[in-house]
Structure 1
Amino acid sequence: MSTLDTSSTGLQALLSPRTVRSTVLPVVRQQVSALEPTLARICSYHLGFIDEHGDPTGAGSGKLTRAALMTAAAEGVGLRPEDVQSQAAALELLHNSTLIHDDIIDADELRRGRPAAWKVFGASLAILAGDALQALSLQVVVDDPGPGRAEISSAFAEALRLVLAGQSRELTVRLGPGAGIAEYDRIVEEKTSALLECALVTPALRAGKPEHVLAALRGAGRHLGLAFQISNDVEDIWGDPAVTGKPVRGDIGRRNPSFPVLAALSADSPVSERLRELWHGDGTAAAHLQEMADLTEEAGGRHTAEKLSRGHLGSALEHLGRAELSPAASAELTALFDRIVNRTA
């Protein structure tokens, strides 16, 4: 095995988006193509490999954020990208299964700027496609013969369990001011942070790192998930659909838990009272949602959310600094964390 170049220049070459894609996407394509043909077609469409007619698109699979995190963390513990190739692909499969299901649950008609899978193939088949990606993800991890297989398989199963718990909690818990913030954090830790923790911890499990390193990486993933989700909530209300690929204000239209709104509702002011009236109503017209957005900002919800997101990002970086990774990998992960939270290029 050749020596790994751990200089900043060498690591940037190893972890460039093109390199991550060339390492992970062939595994994703191969695994998906082996599914039952109808499910393979739906999953390939969702992943961006084909269009609705089955013709190749030359694109695919989004930004591979979780694969990039795992690959960078692998270098940080002395591994090469190939050492976690299967696991990185499996995590992308698992992540995409949640996106297919989320779009159905939320009735979101767009994903990455084009019709969501359920709009093209129907909800029933799309549900099965999401289930198939979950099963495939776990199979890929279990079938890999490398070191730490049992521990990594357990980490993936736990991540899936938490994601499903968070999704259920989001649908059944109606958040209000005050106590709603704690419940919001729990939902995010399950739905979002769990997969990011899995991405960061998996290479350390493969390398046999001690518990204090695993704990630091879990902490980094937890706070990164919170920073990202809060920032994403802000983007849902005030972002540009051309950037997000989804309609604006979808969460407040569905009354989904949204941190800026929760923060605004927690304020004691006439503005918050008016927002509370609208929040508990059933209005979904554009003017209604615009008023809710304006009231949320006026009550300080946007400012509070943006400040807290920055705070969680800082905490994620503090935990990362305790993970004893190589300096080059730590620098790369620091840049990745910033891109994830702030959507920088």
Structure 2
Amino acid sequence: MLYNFDQLLMLVNSEIDNINFDKQPAGLYQPAQYALSLGGKRVRPILALMACNLYSDTPQQAMQPAIGIEIFHNFTLLHDDVMDKADIRRGKPTVHKVWSPNTAILSGDAMQIIAYQWVAQCPSAHLAEVINLFSQTALEICEGQQYDMDFENRDDVTVDEYLEMIRLKTAVLLACALKTGAIIGGASDKDADLLYEFGEKIGLAFQLKDDLLDVYGDPAKFGKAIGGDITCNKKTFMLIKSLELANPQQKGQFEAWLNKTDFDREEKVAAITALYNEVGIKALCEEKINEYYQQSIAALNGLNVTSERKAELLSLADKLMYRES
């Protein structure tokens, strides 16, 4: 049978709700339970199940690896929030604020191990391929995070370097979820690779959209404070491209704010946003998002499955592109 997004979301949430971290020491497991309880879009496990459903009427066979990928994603958020000193995640205090940075690091480590245990519960015929893909993806995410940290201390980051960083840090996990589901569902190698490509491109568009929302989103819908990237001087597409396009006066204003160590947060966010408006970066970012979106759809269209089976993935891609949170 073909499942729609809402049906798969219900299955995923039910599975996650039944995960019981009621183990000792509580200081290790309670933060993990809290992190998963914050919800989220559950995009990654749903993508895995959708990819499986393209080739099989029983996408549930990919459920354990799909949940493992979601647990892994949430582990990365625990560590990201510590590194970024983020106070809010999905509208709630982050783990390191409720407990401590050390607790968030250790609980995240435990979640990573638990994620592997779930991914390893895939059908035995596909175990080696799925674990190898997951391990390679996990390593690439670490590479992406390191690039992200390196960029904080560099003034010469290029747009291409930034795009490669977000491919590694964000897009490859979406791609991994899709390819994992495809492998378990019995896809051909060509289709599995096309779904990986679809995930990469939609992931790049997704992260660029996230960057855009961090500046232009509605805090009530976005789930975290607007301007976090601006406050931290993150080398996003919008900042890198704006510096490239800025006239000498605008560039001087950018650099003055980037070099300030003592500043009012709201004042800095407002000033950088005003400069973004002057150079017209919002439209350029939206153009780049659309470019990747079109590439993702081209990969999806290359699959050897009926249009009916691809409809739900197409619908989800649209939702990701036109979201406000």
Match of 1:38 in 2: 27
Which digits, 9 at most, give the CA deviation of each residue in 1:46-83, with x for residues without a partner? 222xxxxxxxxxxx522211122122111112242211
1:39-54 alignment runs, 5 A limit? 39-48=28-37
- After TM superposition, the structure 1 = structure 2 runs for residues 137-152 of structure 1, keeping only pairs within 5 Å, are 137-152=115-130
Structure 2 SS opposite 1:143:
coil
Gaps of 5+ in 1: 49-59
Instruction: Tell me, in whole angstroms, the C-alpha distance in 2 between the residues paired with 1:172 and 1:244.
Output: 27
Classify the secondary structure of the residue corresponding to 1:323: coil
Aligned to 2:306: 326
Q: 2:194 matched to 1:216?
A: yes
Normalising by structure 1, report the TM-score.
0.87
Q: Indicate the residue corresponding to 2:251 in structure 1.
A: 272
What residue number does 1:228 align with?
Answer: 206
Please tell me whether the aligned partners of residues 176 and 262 of structure 1 are also in contact (alpha carbons under 8 angstroms): no
Distance 2:321 2:115 in 1: 25
The farther-off stretch of 88-97 and 271-280 is 271-280
Of 117, 129, 132 in structure 1, the residue corresponding to residue 95 of structure 2 is: 117
Give 2:284's aligned residue. Answer: 304
TM-score (norm 2): 0.92
Which residue matches 1:183? Answer: 161
2:2 aligned with 1:23: no
- CA 207–145 in structure 1, closer or farther in 2 if over 3 Å, else same: closer
Tell me, in whole angstroms, the C-alpha distance in 1 between the residues paired with 2:155 and 2:104.
32
Who is 1:342 aligned against?
Answer: 322
CA distance in 1, matches of 2:81, 2:88: 8
Where structure 2 has 5 or more consecutive residues not aligned to the other structure, the ranges are: none
CA contact (8 A) 2:67 2:119 kept: no
Q: Which residue of 2 aligns with 1:78?
A: 56
Give SS of 1:246's match: coil
Distance 1:326 1:137, change over 3 A: farther
Q: CA deviation at 1:26?
A: 4.1
CA contact 2:55–2:186 (8 Å) conserved in 1: no
Name the counterpart of 1:290: 270
- Select between 281-290 and 260-269 the one with higher mean Cα deviation: 281-290
Task: Please provide the CA RMSD for this pair.
Answer: 2.0
Deviation, structure 1 residue 97: 0.6
Q: Label 1:71 to 1:323 Cα distance change in 2 as closer, same or farther (>3 A).
A: same
1:217 is displaced (CA, Å) by 1.2
Q: Name the amino acid aligned to 1:23.
A: L
- CA separation in 1, counterparts of 2:30 and 2:180? 29
Q: In 2 relative to 1, CA 210–91 (structure 1 residues): closer, same or farther, beyond 3 Å? A: same
Q: Secondary structure at the match of 2:86?
A: coil
Matched residue type, 1:266? E
Count of residue correspondences: 321
- Once the two structures are TM-superposed, the CA of residue 145 in structure 1 deviates from its matched residue by 3.7
Deviations, residues 226-259 of structure 1 (Å, cap 9, x unaligned): 1011111111011111011111100111011211
- Give the Cα–Cα distance (whole angstroms) in 1 for the partners of residues 23 and 300 of structure 2: 37
The residue number in structure 1 matching 2:223 is 245
Q: Displacement of 1:125 after TM fit?
A: 0.9
Quote the sequence identity (%).
26
